[in-house]
Structure 1
Amino acid sequence: MPVKFTKMHGAGNDFVMIDTISQRIKLRPRDIRRIADRRRGVGCDQVLLVEPPGQPEADFRYRIFNADGSEAGQCGNGARCFARFVRHRRLTHLKKMVVETGSSLMTLTLRDNHEVEVDMGPPVFSPSDVPFNRDQEATEYKLKVAEEQLRVGAVSMGNPHAVLRVSSVDDGSLERLGEAIRSHSDFPEGTNAGFLEVVDRQKVRLRVFERGVGETEACGSGACAAVVYGRRMGWLDDRVTVELTGGKLTVQWTGGNNPVLMTGPTAISFEGTVRL
């Protein structure tokens, strides 16, 4: 079965975009794993599908599959690429659109220079909704990892995040900690592990280890979660530049039940056909 695709990335977080509106296909988890394989397939962090919406207020349905074939509820970098992709493929003329994800409705707005602003909605802190095995909500929690007692923030941006402040994201131990945190038993659905280095009140550095993927060059929802945690702890202003391995994102959150706005670049790498 030949499947047309477009390879894209947002600040280095790379995706295979597939339009299932003009080509009628149904992908199985093994198909996703084959496409995502960097040696035997196209190679990507996630495979993103464009589908017709299921809700009347949405323009499209946006589905996200990790490299291991599991489905995710949210991906901020992918959402930016999604907006540019549907315009590139002439599936819409809209510059502002509403897309339906597995966890929410998102508003995407195309800006100049191929940048896209994503309304990620308000952050979710209730442990039962993250989900996170704690009885009461707190700004920060103790989390035992191996023999270490860490302090993390837990927040959902449509998918679960654990954020830990570190003195430097260049610390060689972060890979070990990232793998341990993202599969920690206190997060029943797994989590994305973010390591936050605060440079000043308007600038941070970040590394993210995503569930179902591993470390990625950028993570939009992870950038949002990190800024939300930093804001709640009193370390950051309401508009922050987040530096990741693959590039920079801008995250704005004024607190409370207000939405988190994330803006960043998109790029088309190449297009092709993969036979499954």
Structure 2
Amino acid sequence: MPLSFHKMHANGDDFVVVDARNSANPVTSALARRMGDRHRGIGFNQLAVVLDCEDADARLMFWNTDGSTLDVCGSATRGAADRLMRESNSTSITLRTNRGLLTCQRTSNGNISVSMGPPLFGWSDVPLAQEMDTLVLPLDGDPAACSMGNPHCTYFVDDLTSIDIAAIGPTLETHPLFPLRTNVHFVQVIDRKHIRLRIWERWGGIPLGSGSCSCGAAVNGIRRGLLDDTVEVECDGGAVTVQWDGVGSVFLIGPVEAVFSGTIADSLLKD
């Protein structure tokens, strides 16, 4: 049976949505790798599969380009929410992910807001390889760590242009301190309400943006006392807003845009 897909992006952070409701999940690790190939497939940073769910409007399953799964993707969650809200002519839906139930709303200016759940700060929640304070890690540059359902490591720097992310990022991603690897953030604080963020994404290299990384970077800045509870996060591809009161759920607010829809060729579907 032909498999339809929808290509979308959030400030250049591109993803693919496959709607598999009312059917068996068609996506395997091998298919996710083929779809994610930018030369021989569709290409994406993440893939979101929309599945039936008994206690929410739908369930989302996420894939990386290497065929591994992840618990959450802020950009793809916003994209799936946008599609489902348009389909149901509503402004609010609830989606289940491995991160839990995420409430999504369309704002008055058309952006999508997602309640991403509370951040986690325990060393075993990130996870780290050994017990330590996640507010200041024992690495050069004194980064902070947290989990948004995936691991994040945040460096605060004076001049973002001086950082060679392509050279530093892979070493930090695979540092022994992070048994499941980590997303790495480099943050320049513009003021208490505004940061400039560049990212080395776990399994993915340097993206134009990332919803969960924007959340993790803002949360670690708020923990450090550097930022207010509402932060504009400016990535290479554009800006999102992150809100966190220091206690409860983190809210991620930003635009999404459809690019094209299509049908995957049978040759790509074959193992």
Please tell me the TM-score bracket, short chain as reference: over 0.9
Shift of 1:132: 1.0
The equivalent position to 1:63 in structure 2, one of 61, 69, 83, is 61
Is 2:228 aligned against 1:272?
no
Shift of 1:201: 0.8
Task: Give the corresponding residue for 1:10.
Answer: 10
The equivalent position to 1:259 in structure 2, one of 232, 236, 249, is 249
CA-based RMSD: 1.5
**Counterpart contact for 2:99–2:117, Cα < 8 Å:** no
CA distance in 2, matches of 1:13, 1:203: 20
- The aligned runs of 1:20-99 (5 Å cut-off) are 20-22=20-22, 24-53=24-53, 56-88=54-86, 90=87, 92-99=88-95
Shift of 1:111: 1.8
Three-state SS of the structure 2 residue aligned to 1:98 is strand
CA distance in 2, matches of 1:123, 1:172: 27
Three-state SS of the structure 2 residue aligned to 1:99 is strand
Runs in 1 of length 4+ with deviation above 4 angstroms?
Answer: 22-25
Of all paired residues, the percent bearing the same amino acid is 37
Is 2:123 aligned against 1:132?
no
Shift of 1:19: 0.3
Is 2:97 aligned against 1:101?
yes
Which moved further from structure 2: 93-102 or 62-71? 93-102
The equivalent position to 2:116 in structure 1, one of 101, 117, 120, is 120
Which moved further from structure 2: 133-142 or 158-167? 133-142
Shift of 1:114: 3.2
CA distance in 2, matches of 1:122, 1:159: 12
Q: 1:272 to 1:23 in 2, by over 3 A?
A: farther
CA deviation digits over 1:35-86, x for unaligned, max 9?
A: 1111111111111100012xx4322111110111110111111111110122
Three-state SS of the structure 2 residue aligned to 1:6 is strand
Which moved further from structure 2: 168-177 or 266-275? 168-177
**Counterpart contact for 2:48–2:63, Cα < 8 Å:** yes
Shift of 1:232: 1.2
CA distance in 2, matches of 1:161, 1:79: 18
Return 5+ residue gaps in structure 1 as ranges: 144-148
Shift of 1:25: 4.5
Q: Which amino acid aligns with 2:255?
A: P
Normalization by structure 1: what TM-score? 0.92
**Counterpart contact for 2:128–2:178, Cα < 8 Å:** yes
Q: 1:114 to 1:22 in 2, by over 3 A?
A: farther
Structure that is richer in strand per residue: 1
CA deviation digits over 1:244-272, x for unaligned, max 9?
A: 011100011111x2111110001000111
Task: Give the corresponding residue for 2:107.
Answer: 111
Shift of 1:24: 4.3
Task: Give the corresponding residue for 2:208.
Answer: 217
Q: Which amino acid aligns with 1:87?
A: M
Task: Give the corresponding residue for 1:146.
Answer: none
Shift of 1:166: 1.6
CA distance in 2, matches of 1:114, 1:158: 26
**Counterpart contact for 1:70–1:212, Cα < 8 Å:** no
CA distance in 2, matches of 1:182, 1:64: 20
Three-state SS of the structure 2 residue aligned to 1:141 is coil
